[in-house]
Amino acid sequence: MKKLTMAGSIIGILACMVGVYFYFSNDSGLKINLKKNDPVTTKEAQAKIEKGFEAPVSSKVTAEYETMREEELIQEVHNMTHQKVEADKKWGASEITADKVQKLYEVIQTKNFKKSSHKQMLLDILEPWTRQDFSNAVSAHNQIWAYQKGNIGKATRLLTPQEELEYIEDEFR
């Protein structure tokens, strides 16, 4: 009887430990985000986003664009749109900076694409971005998403500056 009680206790403790592990490692588990307790005004968020946009990027990062294949360049721009748009699911992230946008734009301008329509799509997306105009981000995301035959994660709207700042802090800081 004593062995049975001991075995039951051990199994119970192990079950609790496994439950606690899955609770905290699961997306639906408890999450503590102190940033949400410190609200940021739209103006403050926009200033932080612009400061990040102007931050220098290693030339090694931008040099990688020169060797990327057509599909990789398309994916890089797609990943960048995630910083700006609301979508149910987002796979991949690449922070938008002035250096990266400019280098991508230059590389795409000079690169030979199998389909000129892909090249033109990317140039049309990036050209306003070189002027810090991201108003096309929803349509840009959905163009690439449709090209990639996406079925989950269509962009529905631009993020607010506060939402974008939270995304940047979660993904890149």
Q: How confident is the model at residue 9 (pLDDT cuts 50, 70, 90)?
A: low
| Backbone φ and ψ of 42, nearest 5° | -60, -45
Q: How confident is the model at residue 75 (pLDDT cuts 50, 70, 90)?
A: very high
With contact defined as beta carbons under 8 Å apart, do 96 and 129 qualify?
Answer: yes
pLDDT tens digits along 13-41:
655 555 545 444 444 333 334 445 468 89
Report d(CA 140, CA 17) in Å as an integer: 46
pLDDT of residue 61: 82
Q: Where are the domains of the chain?
A: 1-31, 38-172
pLDDT tens digits along 47-62:
999 988 888 888 888 8
What is the rounded average pLDDT of the residues 96-101? 95
Record the tokens describing residue 106, joined without a space. 């230059």
With contact defined as beta carbons under 8 Å apart, do 126 and 77 qualify?
Answer: yes
pLDDT of residue 13: 65
pLDDT of residue 10: 66
Counting Cα atoms < 13 Å in the Cβ hemisphere of 25 gives: 6
Query: Which parts of 68-158 are beta strand (E)?
Result: 85-87, 155-158
Q: How confident is the model at residue 11 (pLDDT cuts 50, 70, 90)?
A: low
Q: What's the pTM?
A: 0.75
pLDDT of residue 62: 81
pLDDT of residue 26: 44
In total, the chain counts a number of residues equal to 173
Q: How confident is the model at residue 158 (pLDDT cuts 50, 70, 90)?
A: very high
Question: Is residue 86 pLDDT above 80, yes or no?
Answer: yes
Question: Is residue 106 pLDDT above 90, yes or no?
Answer: yes
pLDDT tens digits along 109-150:
999 999 999 999 999 999 999 999 999 999 999 999 999 999
